[in-house]
Amino acid sequence: MADNKRRGEDAGDDRLNENDDVVDETAGDDVADADATGADEPVSRGGTATRSKAAKAESADSKPKTKADSGRVGLFGRVARFFREVVAELRKVIWPTRKELLTYTAVVVVFVTVMLTIVAGLDFAFAKGVLWVFGNPS
């Protein structure tokens, strides 16, 4: 049984070997494209490095002349945009129904009551223990 699981004897491995030829053909196309254009620059695959270089070149040529052209927004514009974004985010929230809200509230109140009882009991027990260890002067 272990013999048929070895690498190279599976039908899936044959498919991989067939696809290796396709990868080699496409790799050669990049070199041919670069030779045809006469450019020494590497072929762009849409990476961020290429985009940032192009953006820097464009931004160096055309600097904004006024404050409105630069895209800077004043204080009131920023505050207004903040509130618009807050309202947009609040619209995305899935609000609980009244029944769910009452259920969640009851769970929280019961949990807090239980924890308060435990902490109060431990506080009382430790206070009595300290008085017992160090003695009660009265």
Q: What is the mean pLDDT of the chain?
A: 73
Domain extent for 129: 96-138
Residue 117 lies in a domain: yes
Q: What is the pLDDT of residue 64?
A: 57
Q: Please, which pLDDT band fits residue 97 given cuts at 50, 70 and 90?
A: very high
pTM over 0.95: no
pLDDT, residue 84, reads: 96
Signed CA dihedral, 124, 130, 133, 135: sign only = negative
Number of domains in the chain: 1
Query: What one-letter code names the amino acid at 95?
Result: W
> CA–CA separation, 58 vs 66, rounded Å?
17
Quick check: is 25 in a domain? no
Q: Looking at the domain assignment, is residue 125 inside a domain?
A: yes
